[in-house]
Amino acid sequence: MSNHPVQTVSTSNDKFKVILAIVAVVAGVAAFYILANQSTLVRSSALVAGLIVAIGLAWTSEAGKGFIDFARESVRETKKVVWPTRKEAMQITAVVFGFVLLMSIFLWGTDKILEFVLLELVLGWKK
């Protein structure tokens, strides 16, 4: 017996809801710019109304429900993370800065040695 997840096929009703949600967002943004000579409150209300309609339509589709489930799982997994203390974070940051400083000095030194070898010893050019 296999443990393959079963994928459901979206119905055309769900696809239509997602398309309508996209149209609602575009309509809200378009209304915001079309109403340029109106007050900011009217323009913002048109934009927010378009976004609310889009969220409502997306929320009722299978893709929206799947996104909500994904978001809930993400929050649940984030709560399981063991975050470092402030002291540990500062120590890790200091180690990273130290490593970057050492690597920059090493690369600068390597560049200068190669410059000396190639320009002065191989090609015979003097600065």
Give the tens place of pLDDT for each residue, 48-100. Answer: 999 999 988 888 888 888 888 999 999 999 999 998 999 999 999 999 999 99
Say which residue the tokens 């443990």 belong to: 3
Are 63 and 102 part of one and the same domain? no
- pLDDT above 90 for 9: no
Please list the alpha-helical segments (H only) found in the chain. Answer: 12-34, 40-60, 62-80, 86-115
C-beta of residue 32 within 8 angstroms of C-beta of residue 47 = yes
Same domain for 18 and 74? yes
> Looking at the domain assignment, is residue 56 inside a domain?
yes
Average pLDDT on 94-108 reads: 98
15 and 63 inside one domain: yes
Examine the domain organization and report whether 27 and 77 are in the same domain. yes
Are the C-beta atoms of 57 and 17 separated by less than 8 Å? yes
Residue 98: domain span: 85-127
Number of folded domains in the chain?
2
Residue 56, Cα to own-chain centre: how many angstroms? 23
Q: Is residue 1 part of a domain?
A: no
Do residues 71 and 58 touch, judged by C-beta distance below 8 A? no
Residue 36 sits in the same domain as residue 66:
yes
pTM for this entry: 0.48
Flag whether 44 is in a domain: yes
Biggest alpha carbon–alpha carbon distance for the chain: 77
